[in-house]
Structure 1
């Protein structure tokens, strides 16, 4: 018999604009979810979503019971610099 750690996690966030100019923003951006440095999912985020995103039902551990490291990165947006 083998016992393995199981569990789920989620990654949520909100895009914050620091430009003071709503009319020049793109209608939509793309947010990549990385698991241990590799892109595993992408979400389209827009003002209609209040610039919020959520990746849910994510495995918290690999088959050996090691915790996955999750991070998000915004795909490049013309005229803007992204910081997480």
Structure 2
């Protein structure tokens, strides 16, 4: 059985001409093989950075999990 940990991290980027009315927080979902397993708040004061740490790298059969991040809708914006 394969064992191991991984992490997924990133930074929210905006394409809005540095608008002053953007929100101070957004939510991002972490998906494991297409299913939401965690949600994090991503804050402006933290530089829009997020990290999902200590994630299982493999399932019980030794297959690698596929992790993706999806931003929850933000009013007035498209992701």
Gaps of 5+ in 2: none
Aligned partner of residue 30 in structure 1, secondary structure: strand
> Which residue of 57, 71, 76 corresponds with 1:74?
71
Q: TM-score, normalised by structure 1?
A: 0.91
C-alpha separation between the residues in 2 aligned to 1:52 and 1:22? 18
SS of 2:40 mapped into structure 1: strand
In structure 1, runs of 5+ residues without a counterpart are none
Bigger Cα displacement from structure 2, 17-26 vs 32-41: 17-26
**Partners of 2:49 and 2:58 in 1: CA distance:** 25
Q: TM-score under structure 2 normalisation?
A: 0.96
Alignment of 1:46-65 (within 5 A): 46-65=43-62
Aligned residues: 79
What is the Cα-based RMSD across aligned positions, in Å? 0.7
- Within the alignment, does 1:18 sit opposite 2:15 as a pair? yes
Residues in 2 aligned to 1:48 and 1:41: alpha-carbon distance in whole angstroms: 21
